[in-house]
Amino acid sequence: MVVITMGNVISKIDNLSDELILKLADELSYKVGGFGQPITTHYLLNVNYKTTYTGVIPRVIQFLNTYKIAYNLIDRRKVPTEHAEPAFKIANGFSMRDYQEKIVNNASSREIIQAATGAGKTFIMANLIVKYNVKPVLVIAPKISLAVQIRDEFEKFLGIKICLLGGGHNIVFGDIIISTPQSCPDNVISEAKMILFDETHFLPGKTIFQIASQAQNAYYRFGVSATPWRDDDCDLLIEAALNIRKPQLTINASQLIAKGKLTPCTINFIQLKDKVKWQGSYDKTYEMAIVNNEERNKKIINIGANMFNKGKTQLILIKKIRHGEKLLNKFKQQLPYEEILNYDAENDKWITIGNIEFLSGKDDLVKRNAVLQAVKNGFCKILIASTIADEGLDLPCLDTLILAGSGKSSTRAFQRIGRVLRLYPGKTNAIVYDFIDNNPTFYKHALVRKALYETEKEWKINIIKEGN
């Protein structure tokens, strides 16, 4: 009989034949590379030591059941002692929605949770902490801006001070620690009894996955994201650190729209005629077809100007900084541009903010916060942003999104649409503009995005041909 011995991070598989071990190794493998890079296969099963990651044990069991092989599962994981008195509790005035309660109640000790933008994933995480009542708890956020958001939300939901590590914060205190991957000390990782990963699609990154592997005492493990998957084979690493995904732990955008928790959405695809040939490399083709495509940029400016004149608050997402700067200059030339001076008391600094702004990774946190506040208070009506806006941008007043870049990433596609779906007084429908480019590469990318959007049954999709 096959014997599976489970630990928090690594499990051992004994008494499986060499032939089947090799087949199982193929099942627990993924490939990386392509686009000019060599393709290599990575194996999550060590065929010499017969060990693999505990998160993929459900796949091992499926494999054994396929071959009708009996097995004995020995769980050597040590369950942390729950405190006699509640270590954590939800503050008065906060209660779970029905779908949040369902997810928390159905969650076992290690799970992947899909919660669309607006589902309240931070509140779900807080309730998981309360449910299992162990400490210390470690939360890994991929960016300092996300870590700060979680810290602030946790303090509101749990009514206690929360430790933040990263962005200049380096003092460890308390029972809940929110940290960026680069700022988390080894002792904090090793002592954690529960670990949660925000924006789980980042988990396969080397530093974050290493944290998951170092957290030997973390019996409770959770990953939460609107898009807890990857567009490459590295999906398997998310499972390796946590568990397989389960449908009962999912709340998507369409379900939230049906419940009245998100705004209905219309996606308009602008089909372009202008065909740009392959320029010898992806980057050169992108420059020609997207960044420097004057006809395409003119359409973006016209759409943005039209929405500006209607009083809409819009987000325009780009991939290349040069593209954002080009669009910013064109908008300033075409629309009435205004500026205000904003005083940042914490840093004793005056910042000039426009009603049309561009944010990228080059901007510091002070500038970002000032611009985002200007959007929230209604002064900044057009925000052009790079990939810094792909996760964690909480601006419910946004009602129009223009996807000025291209790409086929499903995680980014869903995250970006989610930016304009939050409820806001007076907002009855979120409007999205995307482009079907005529270059073969970017045309395929557009079809991939369209197919992804079609998986959300509450999202209405229109195709607008050039000239209509």
103-125: pLDDT as tens digits: 999 999 999 999 998 899 999 99
pTM of this prediction?
0.89
141-199: pLDDT as tens digits: 999 989 999 999 999 999 999 999 998 999 999 999 999 999 999 999 999 999 999 99
Confidence of residue 459 (pLDDT cuts 50, 70, 90): very high
**CATH number for domain 260-465, candidates 3.40.50.2000, 3.40.50.300, 1.20.1250.20, 3.30.70.360:** 3.40.50.300
Q: What is the largest CA-CA distance in the chain?
A: 76
Q: According to the model, what pLDDT value does residue 466 have?
A: 67
422-438: pLDDT as tens digits: 999 999 999 999 999 98
Residue whose pair of structure tokens reads 């600094």 in the numeric block: 349
Decide if pLDDT at 82 tops 90.
no
Q: According to the model, what pLDDT value does residue 35 have?
A: 62
Query: 424, 396 in Cβ contact below 8 A?
Result: yes
Provide the sign of the torsion angle of the four alpha carbons 193, 197, 201, 204, taken in this order.
negative
What contacts 440, CB < 8 A, 6 or more positions away?
278
CA distance 278 to 294: 17
Q: Do domains 98-251 and 260-465 have the same CATH topology?
A: yes
User: Which architecture characterizes domain 2-75 according to CATH?
Assistant: 2-Layer Sandwich (3.30)
Q: Give the domain ranges of the chain.
A: 2-75, 98-251, 260-465
The identity of residue 215, as a single letter, is: A
Query: 355, 378 in Cβ contact below 8 A?
Result: no
Superfamily of domain 98-251 in the CATH hierarchy: P-loop containing nucleotide triphosphate hydrolases (3.40.50.300)
